[in-house]
Amino acid sequence: MSLLTVKDLVVEFKDADTGGVNRACNHVSLDVDEGEIVGLVGESGCGKSTLGRTIVGLEHARSGSITFDGVDILSLPAGRQRQARRKLQYIFQDPLAALEPRQTVGSALDEALIIKGERNPRARAARIGEILVATNLPPGILARRPRELSGGQRQRVCIARALLAEPKVLICDEPVSSLDMSLRAQVMNLFLSLRDDLGVAIILIAHDLSIVRQASARVNVMYLGRIVESGPSAALYAEPLHPYSHALTSAILHVDPDIERSRERTVLKGDLPSPFAPPSGCSFRTRCPNVLETCAQIEPQARVEAGRSVRCHLYDDVETKRLAPAY
């Protein structure tokens, strides 16, 4: 059984002014195994952050289940859910906003251990020392405040603080998008070592597709509240099945000008529809270069084969045992 299983999760937001409903997660299912890095990609409003936030309890689920470490979290009384989620930790995009500006790094880490119930100051100091080593931070950083740190160091402090809870899953929401390209490696490599050394599983939520590809064993692509495709990342990027995944991977630019300028690039027409009024049938149909007549009428169901899954009518009549691009 997976370490974390999300099944048929529905999360809705109501617009107080219009009464409209945005179904940010529409029957979303997701598995994360121990020590696995799972990618979650999509554009703004697709529901990827909502999914992450709902898993850790920052948003309320309307229906569906979240099973973590054998415990069906949403069936627990509210008071016990928090305890059951202790080993699920969230890393925010903006480390500066996640840290208290006047608090030194040392005091922030110490506080996290006090909250955890560690009363012995010497044990706390020892634990903090270990965490600094694990996150590759110099001891001198303990006396400093967030503003005095580089962007990469700040994000590693946030990760260090999350690690004090000995999490089994880290949910990282755009963890490197506020960092310059040359500084992203230090944070991404930290995630890879935490996975290798501590067996931490990671849900990596990001819009930077090439970073997700390199870090994640499996990737999920979201569009307007639905996971439209999932599969092993190497296969999904090499041969995307869903036309939306195809457009996303086609948007990755190559740094070799000869390759970049000679390749065919798929550019989608139009804007993302409002999540408050998604199109009927398949929600991607308004921008899909391969749209069929049925797409407006019937919402496609997930078709699963050999570890890959796709939600698209192009695959309704495909008979092979191995899915291959049908557009």
Partner 1 sequence: MTVSRAEATTAVRPADQPVLSVRDLSVLLFTETATVRAVTDAGYDVGRGEALAIVGESGSGKTVMNLAPLGLLPGGVRAVVGGSVKLSGEDLAVASEERMMQVRGRKVGVVFQDPLSALNPNRRVGPQIEEVLQLRLGLDRNASRARAIELLTMVGIPEPDRRLRLFPHQMSGGMRQRVMIAIAIAGDPELLIADEPTTALDVTIQAQLLELLAGLQRQLHMAMVLVTHDIGVVARIADKVAVMYAGTIVEIGTVRDVLKRPRHPYTRALLAAVPAPDAEVGSRFVGLTGSPPDLSNPPAGCAFAPRCVLVQPECRLAAPRLATAGGDHRAACWMTTPHSTGDQEFAR
Residues within the interface to partner 1 (CB under 8 A): 37, 43-44, 150, 180-186, 188-189, 192, 207, 209-211, 213-217, 233-234, 237, 247-248, 250-258, 260-269, 271-272, 287, 289
Helix axes 121-134 and 181-198, enclosed angle (nearest 10): 120
Largest Cα span, the chain: 68
Least distance to partner 1, CB of residue 92, Å: 19
DSSP string, 132-176: HHHTT--GGGGG--GGGS-HHHHHHHHHHHHHTT--SEEEEESTT
Angle at 170 between CA 165 and CA 171, to 5 degrees: 130
Check if the beta carbon of residue 229 is closer than 8 Å to that of residue 282: no
With respect to partner 1, which residue has the nearer C-beta, 217 or 302?
Answer: 217
Least distance to partner 1, CB of residue 77, Å: 39
With respect to partner 1, which residue has the nearer C-beta, 64 or 273?
Answer: 273
With respect to partner 1, which residue has the nearer C-beta, 32 or 248?
Answer: 248
Nearest to 54 by CA among 16, 10, 98: 10
From residue 118, alpha-carbon distances to 27, 126, 128, 141, 315 in Å are: 39, 11, 12, 22, 55
With respect to partner 1, which residue has the nearer C-beta, 57 or 278?
Answer: 278
Check if the beta carbon of residue 202 is closer than 8 Å to that of residue 195: yes
With respect to partner 1, which residue has the nearer C-beta, 67 or 220?
Answer: 220
With respect to partner 1, which residue has the nearer C-beta, 186 or 309?
Answer: 186
With respect to partner 1, which residue has the nearer C-beta, 61 or 91?
Answer: 91
Least distance to partner 1, CB of residue 183, Å: 6
Least distance to partner 1, CB of residue 113, Å: 29
Least distance to partner 1, CB of residue 127, Å: 26
Least distance to partner 1, CB of residue 32, Å: 16
Edge-first strand order for the sheet with 63-68 is: 21-32, 4-14, 63-68, 71-72
Least distance to partner 1, CB of residue 64, Å: 26
Phi, psi of 84 (to 5 degrees): -70, -20
